[in-house]
Structure 1
Amino acid sequence: MGALRSSVILAGGAGRRIGYQKAFLEFFGVTMIERTVEVVGQVADEVVVVARDDDQAERLRDVVPEARVVADPVRGFGPVAGLAAGMGAAGSELALAVGCDLPFLNPRVMELLFDLAEGHDAAVPIREGGLIEPLHAVYRTGPMARACSEALVAGERRIRAPLGGLLVRNVPVELFRPLDPELLSLYNLNTEEDLAEALRIEEVRCGGGGRGRRRRRPGRRSQPLQESL
């Protein structure tokens, strides 16, 4: 195999509820895709970014040239298509899969998921009540790529569908608390309210200074949704 560990970032979300493409949403002066690539690069030997189409892929290559960028093979199938492309492009046996809308990814939690995936086809966090977190999980790339491709052929859009035929280790999110007491690593940005709360949390965590390589107004968006479709 190639790299020992990979990370697959799904960057194609339109972000309709928040009003802007999530990959290019700025969070304390750094786009979410830059922030995500930087953090997952701490635990993975290669980073694969999955774009929604060729146009977005070109833009992403300009923003994160250090990552390998591929495009969804099929439009309209969301994460299933994204994971099919990303897992197929990954050069390692195990790959972390995350969305680009998780501002508080925790390298220690991701390391734990890699460890827990050993001997399984997937290590997927699960919350009380059975809610799974398939876009904050580690997969064995070959089986997951095949399962997602089969789901596409069957016209299946549900992200749970590819998991049905895999040996999945359900990981209770409570196992993360020693490393991430407030489970912030699972916090994602879907709405304006989510963004406002994330900005508040980051201000508190960083003593009011925020974090990022370029200081601009917190929460500035770099491209309106209507201009990106």
Structure 2
Amino acid sequence: MRMRRCIPRVEPGAHMDASLVILGGGRGTRMGGNKLFLSVGGRFLWEVMLQRMAPWFREVIMSVGPRDVGPLSGLLPPAAPGGVPIRVAVDRSEALGPLEGLRSALAEARSGWAFAVGCDMPLVQHAVVRKMWSLMESRSMVICARLGGFLEPLHAFYSTGCLPAVDDAISRGERRLKGFYHQVEVTVVEEESLRYLPYRRSFLGVNTPKDLADRLDQLGAAPPWVIE
């Protein structure tokens, strides 16, 4: 039997009653280094993301692999902009993929919901996120967009009630974020619902040095940029 969820109130301009989860467990092979430590004009990319996104949420959880927790902990401020608390969730293994990163973050979340985004997605749009949040239904356990016919697991909302299904999927050897979707109630946000919003740029990531240069232009940030 699938659980039914209570719908949190949505108040314009207020925090969403959810945790911001920044997934940073990947190796970034196409970029030439771990994107978690990508520096843009003297600031880490996650710092740029915190500056923009942290004030929308109740807390921030940085989800990282075991080898990155030490270096990251020495860099994180005590709180994000607006005084939003920051905590670190650590994967149990480097080899379990992004689904393990989501699992560790959901296990740490103090809110009933988490908004998961990759550490290489600096252009997430507030209007798009809030629109997705507003489409939550009582049965929702995942809220994700479908773009070009494909579900987008980042960025998306996940209920902490997904944890049993996530654990089950990992135990079966699943690594993909969408690998447990068939076990839970997924609210799909179609492009038609987002058409008046800047939704395409909201889902853009940084996979190559060219991507980074393009995103810098869109952010209005100036080079230099380096992999630390």
Pick the TM interval, shorter chain.
0.7 to 0.9
CA shift, 1:26, in A, is 1.6
1:124 paired residue number: 144
1:158 matches 2:176: yes
2:71 matched residue in structure 1: 59
| In 1, Cα distance between equivalents of 2:31 and 2:191 | 26
Q: Secondary structure at 2:225's aligned position in 1? A: coil
Structure 1 counterpart of 2:194: 176
Percent identity at matched positions?
Answer: 32
> Hey, what's the Cα distance between the residues in 2 that align with 1:187 and 1:155?
28
In structure 2, how many angstroms separate the alpha carbons of the residues matched to 1:175 and 1:218? Answer: 38
Distance across 2 between alignment mates of 1:87 and 1:126: 22
Shift of residue 4, structure 1, vs aligned partner: 3.0
Alignment pair present for 1:219 and 2:228 = no
Residues of 2 paired with 1:40 and 1:151: CA distance? 29
CA deviation vs aligned residue, 1:86-118 (integer Å, no higher than 9, x gap): 011101111101111002111222122222234
Corresponding residue number in structure 2 for 1:12: 25
Shift of 1:37: 2.4
Measure, in 1, the Cα distance between the counterparts of 2:36 and 2:176. Answer: 22
TM-score normalised to the size of structure 1? 0.82
RMSD of aligned C-alpha atoms? 1.9
Matched, 1:95 2:114: yes
Report Cα offsets for 1:169-196 as digits up to 9, x if no partner. 1112343342316x21111001122112
CA contact (8 A) 2:99 2:177 kept: yes
SS in 1 for 2:116: strand
Indicate if the aligned counterparts of 1:5 and 1:95 stay in contact, CA closer than 8 A: yes
Do the aligned residues in 1 keep the contact of 2:145 with 2:156 (CA within 8 Å)?
yes
Instruction: Specify the alignment match of 1:75 in structure 2.
Output: 94
Structure 2 distance, partners of 1:79, 1:174, is 28
- Contact 1:8 / 1:98 at 8 angstroms: preserved in 2? yes
Amino acid at match of 2:212: L
Q: CA–CA distance in 1 between the matches of 2:205 and 2:55?
A: 20
Q: Structure 2: which 5+ residue stretches go unaligned?
A: 1-15, 80-85
**Is the alpha carbon distance of 1:43 and 1:218 closer, same or farther for their aligned partners in structure 2, counting shifts above 3 Å?**
same
Segments of structure 1 that go 5 or more residues without pairing to the other structure are: 204-209, 211-215, 223-229
2:134 equivalent among 89, 95, 115: 115
Number of residue pairs aligned between Structure 1 and Structure 2: 205
Per-residue CA deviations over 1:60-80 (Å, capped at 9, x if unaligned) read 222223210011123212111
1:133 partner SS: strand
Alignment TM-score, normalising by the size of structure 2: 0.83
Distance 2:176 2:197 in 1: 30
CA distance 1:202–1:8, shift in 2 (3 Å): closer
Q: Distance in 2 between matches of 1:178 and 1:190?
A: 27
CA distance in 1, matches of 2:209, 2:72: 23
- Following the alignment from structure 1 to structure 2, what is the Cα–Cα distance between the partners of residues 88 and 189? 27
Structure 1 CA distance, aligned partners of 2:55 and 2:145? 20
2:169 is paired with a residue whose SS is: helix
Q: Does 1:140 align with 2:146?
A: no
